Structure formats: structure tokens, C-alpha cells
Amino acid sequence: MFHTADMLKAFNPYRGDAIVVPGRGGRHWIKISDQPGLDLPLGDPAMGGHAAFAFGLALALPHRKVVLFDSEGDVQMGLGILLTVAEHKPENFYHFMLDNECYATTGGQPVPNAKNIAYDLLARGAGYPRVFAFDELAALTAALPAILGQPGPVFVAMKVHADVENKPITQRTKWQTRTRVQVIADFRKHLGIAA
Amino acid sequence: MNDASPAHLSPEVILQQLKQHGVTHVVWLPDSETNWLYLLMQAEPALTLVAVPREGLACSVAAGLVTGGKVPVILIQNTGLMESGDSIRGWLFGLDIPVVIMVGLRGWTRHGVTQDTAAVYTEPFLNAFRINYYLVESDADAQRISVAFDEAKRTKRPVAVLVGDEYHGFNG
């Protein structure tokens, strides 16, 4: 098991010019990324939809790598999108998943069957051609060039420590520096996509 | 007014509207009697069909497509519309996504005696979410689809088209 921030730091040198949808890793990623114009730190617009959003983006921009840092709670809620991704097999889609075994933003309650799910096998069964699972950062770091150097779609399950938040939402420190609408506007401007 | 509408909504007319408004992707989950439209869409090279297994996912797929510069339309049944509430809130309204949601109006009858709760709750649902909507029942209403596309683009909001004919009459 490793920390999300450490994983994102290990990933960053291999990013290239990939678009990154950091999902629930956004609070860490905005401090690590040196290409904010290619980032979409949207926070949590609605739970369960991160993979579908990033998949749609990958379909729209097939010549750009799209890297998503999903979470296991989101995957559980929107599990069916694995089937849609596998049907279309976007070669530019890299689906990483943070598995902290709980709903960290609501106090750390366990997700259903938290410790006994092989998410990589779920993705494999859905039809992802390449899947991986890591619980040690060194092994993940060593594998990143190969994971990112080959076509997607690829699914990478990662065991991470939970950053549990127990404060009421109104008392939490906001990490977003831009609104979601502004994030998308900046992204589209950076890539020259007409509004 | 006669209960039965003599005119039908042709799938060719729907497809023409999608092409007219530059739609690139149809994100959908089939509903009753859409197979004719499905066959036409499959044969249309300008359209990519993206099937989802749960309607809420159509909202986030569409949001990603729009963010990347494409023009999706969402094609679902009213039952799935209601399932999609939080995704509509977060991924469509929350990100200012201009998209037309074409909704198969299961249970719709022109005489107002509606026994299917799917139809009973559809308009209250749309009103609760403040989603503007246009009813199309026949080819003569096709222009309302254009109105919906124009409104979605202008307001950067989702706009619904309620398909009262389900393409070939299912109105019982």
C-alpha cells in the first residue's frame, strides 16, 4: 500500500503530453503537475462518473493520451462503464484506479466487500485487453514505462492509503483554485478547442 | 381530439435532425421500439454510437465528449432519465454542458389517462431539475428538435426532447 501523492509524483516524469483527469487525487496532483493546461482537476462533479467522462474525452481526442486516476468507490458505482470502454477499446485511454478500500470523503466507511475485490480481474472480465494490480510503489514505478508505452485501454488497480476526511463539508479546506467550468474553459483554450 | 395520432415520427427525420446539428456521437441505451433508428444510425458514417449500460453514465460520457470538442446527443428512455438525476446535476449542469437529451416517453398517451408511472413522473422530474423540454409526436414536430439544439448551445444547458411517439407508436 502506498500514498496517492507519492504515486502521482512517480507518475509525473512519464506523463509526456498526456491529458490527466486526476479524479480524487486532484488535491495532490495540482501541486505536482507542471502542465496545468492539460489537467482536468474537476473534483467530484457526481460520484461514479469519472471513468465515463475520461472515456468520452478519449473518444473525442483520439490522438492524445488520456490518463485517469479513478477511485474504487467510483468504479463500484459506475461499474458498467468498463463494458463500454472495452467495447470501444480507445487506444489512448489509461485507466488508473486508487483503491483505499473505503469512502474516505465521508469518514472512511468501507466500500462493499472492501478487502476482497480483484478490480483488475473485473476489468479483464469486462474486456480490457491489459490489466495490472499493484500494492507496492516500487513495482508500479518500474512498470510505468511499459504501461504507458503501449496502447490502451489499460486498467491499473493500486492499493493506496486512505486520506480520510471527517470534518463536515463546509469546514474542509478547498483545494480547487478554479471552478469546474473554468477548468474546462482553460483546457479547451489550451488545446485550441472552439467553445 | 382523437386519442390516436394519425401521423408518425419517422426515424429518418430524427436522423436528419442529428446530422443537421453536427452530432458526432449518440450516447444511448435503447428503449422500446428504437430499433429502426438504431439501424439507420449504425449505417450513418458520421455518427459514432456509444452504448452505455446505465443512463447516468451517458451524462458523464457526453460531458467528456463535449469537453473534447465533439457534439453528442443522449438518447434514453424516461425511466433512465429519472435514474440519471445526480449525473445530470453534476456532469451536465455542473460543467455547463450543452446537450440535447432525447427521451423516449414510455407510457405517454394523448388522451391524458396515463397508467404507466414512467410517464406520470417524467414532466415533474424535468420541472424539478429545471430542464426545458419539447414534445415531438410526429414529423411535423421535427422543428422542435432544432429548437432544442439551438437552446442547448445558447444556454450551455441540457435540453430535453420528449419523443411521444416512441418512433412508431406504442401509445396503447
Q: How far is CA A85 from CA A15, A90, B47, in A?
A: 21, 7, 17
Supply the DSSP string of A14-44, one letter for each residue. G-TT-EEE-GGGHHHHHHH-S-GGGB-----
Which residues in chain A have Cβ-Cβ distances shorter than 8 Å to B70? Answer: 56, 59-60
**Domain edges within chain A:** 4-191
Q: What total of structural domains would you count in chain B?
A: 1
Residue A19, pLDDT score: 98
Pick from B115, B114, B30, B21: nearest CA to B71: B21
Q: Domain for residue B62, yes or no?
A: no
In this complex, the residue of B61, B66, B89 whose CB is nearest that of residue A52 is B61
In this complex, the residue of B27, B54, B89 whose CB is nearest that of residue A80 is B54
Q: How far is A62 from chain B (nearest CA, A)?
A: 10
Largest CA distance in chain B: 46
Banded model confidence at residue B170, pLDDT cuts 50, 70, 90: very low
Domain span at B90: 85-97+146-157
Contacts 24+ apart (CB under 8 A), B40-44: B40/B11, B40/B12, B40/B15, B41/B15, B44/B15, B44/B19
pLDDT at B5 over 80: no
Contact A81 B57 (CB under 8 A): yes
The larger pLDDT score, comparing residue B30 to residue A31, is at A31
Interface test with A, best of B23, B59, B61, B96 (most A CBs within 10 A): B61
Residue B27: closest CA among chain A residues belongs to which residue? A56
Q: Where are the beta strands (DSSP E) in A127-174?
A: 130-134, 154-159
How far, in Å, CA of A7 to CA of B44, rounded? 43
Pick from B153, B142, A30: nearest CA to B163: B142
User: Within A12-150, where are the H helices?
Assistant: 26-32, 50-60, 72-77, 81-88, 119-126, 137-149
Residue A190: closest CA among chain B residues belongs to which residue? B68
- The ipTM (two decimal places) reads 0.96
> Regarding beta strands A102-103 and A109-110, do their DSSP bridges make them parallel or antiparallel, or are they unpaired?
antiparallel
Q: Domain for residue B107, yes or no?
A: no
The three three-digit cell numbers of residue A174, written as one number:
478547498
Banded model confidence at residue B169, pLDDT cuts 50, 70, 90: very low
Residue A166, pLDDT score: 81
**Residue B59 touches partner A, C-beta closer than 8 Å:** yes
pLDDT at A91 over 90: yes
Chain-centroid distance of CA B51 in Å reads: 14
Q: How far is CA A139 from CA A8, A33, A133, A148, in A?
A: 14, 22, 10, 14
Q: Which CATH superfamily is domain A4-191 in?
A: Thiamin diphosphate (ThDP)-binding fold, Pyr/PP domains (3.40.50.970)
A14-62 pLDDT tens trace: 999 999 999 999 999 999 999 999 999 999 999 999 999 999 999 999 9
A176-191 pLDDT tens trace: 899 999 999 999 999 9
Strands of the sheet with A19-21, listed across from one edge: A19-21, A66-71, A93-99, A154-159, A130-134
Q: How far is A51 from chain B (nearest CA, A)?
A: 8
Q: How far is B85 from chain A (nearest CA, A)?
A: 10
B156 torsion bin: left (phi>0), alpha (psi -120 to 50), beta (else): left
Which residues in chain A have Cβ-Cβ distances shorter than 8 Å to B55? Answer: none
How far, in Å, CA of B170 to CA of B172, rounded? 6
Q: What is the pTM of this model?
A: 0.95
Contact B61 A84 (CB under 8 A): yes
**Residue B65 touches partner A, C-beta closer than 8 Å:** yes
Rounded average pLDDT over A73-82? 97
How far, in Å, CA of A145 to CA of A54, rounded? 21
Q: Domain for residue B103, yes or no?
A: no
Q: Domain for residue B89, yes or no?
A: yes
In this complex, the residue of A42, A55, A194 whose CB is nearest that of residue B61 is A55
Pick from B112, B154, B152: nearest CA to B132: B152
Q: Where are the beta strands (DSSP E) in chain B?
A: 25-28, 48-51, 72-77, 99-104, 133-136, 158-163
Q: Domain for residue B22, yes or no?
A: no
Q: Domain for residue B152, yes or no?
A: yes
Do residues A99 and A160 touch, judged by C-beta distance below 8 A?
yes
Pick from B67, B25, B86: nearest CA to A21: B67
